[in-house]
Amino acid sequence: MSHAAYVFDAYGTLFDVHAAVRRHAEAMGPDGQAFSELWRAKQLEYSWVRSLMGAYVDFWQLTEQSLDYAFARFPSADPKLKKQLLDAYWALDCYPEVPAVLKGLKERGARIAILSNGSPAMLASAVKNAALDIIIDDVFSVDAVKAFKTAPAVYDLVTTQYRLYPHAVSFQSSNRFDIAGATKFGFRTVWINRADVPDEYQDYGPSLILPSLESLQFGI
């Protein structure tokens, strides 16, 4: 085993952030996909702005606020769906390969953890819904430091708790900005480029780029 801990971002990496809208695709109408993409984009934008302002609120509040904005931008979407979409966000689908990958890494002796912008309650719900609670050792939420990714204090949650040097941690995320922050911190980083989008942040490149988490089960 080349790394003592394998740490995963949650949303977009383990859990499909677009699953909530997809479950209500018929009711959402033709703008459903664009609606979901805007909801996610604003959710992240609000986290960055809040961090820069020093005005932290937990990720659930940002999820609600960004959903309200998406409804305002897409009049075709019925605001009465708000509760259903928020309820669905507590039980997002995990990607198909996730359980086997995490189990395989754990069986090889690595610690398995989540490091996420999500609030503790959101993450506990998602992990339990996906039956990952029997595999994952620890769940680290930015709520502990009251700052969002890519603040260095977020990544330091892992190294402090595990008493590891950063290079002993393999960090996996589908979010390229997150990979940049983790790379600067000193983690070995694996960008899960599910959407096959162009690379960016060239001065903080990942150690490895994969289309999914599947190859990780072989301990790479």
Residue listed under structure tokens 């937990």 = 58
Are 139 and 162 contacting, i.e. CB atoms less than 8 angstroms apart?
Answer: no
Active site residue 87: no
Which among 9, 58, 93, 143 is annotated as catalytic?
Answer: 9
The Cα angle at residue 171 between residues 213 and 49, in degrees rounded to 5: 110
Amino acid at 121: A
Round to whole Å and give the CA distance between 53 and 59.
Answer: 15
Phi-psi region of 209 (alpha: psi -120 to 50; beta: other; left: phi over 0): beta
CA 151 distance to own-chain centroid: 15
Residue listed under structure tokens 């900005």 = 177
DSSP code of residue 58: -
Are 116 and 142 contacting, i.e. CB atoms less than 8 angstroms apart?
Answer: yes
Both structure tokens of 2: 């080349």
Round to whole Å and give the CA distance between 138 and 11.
Answer: 16
Q: Supply the residues annotated as catalytic.
A: 9
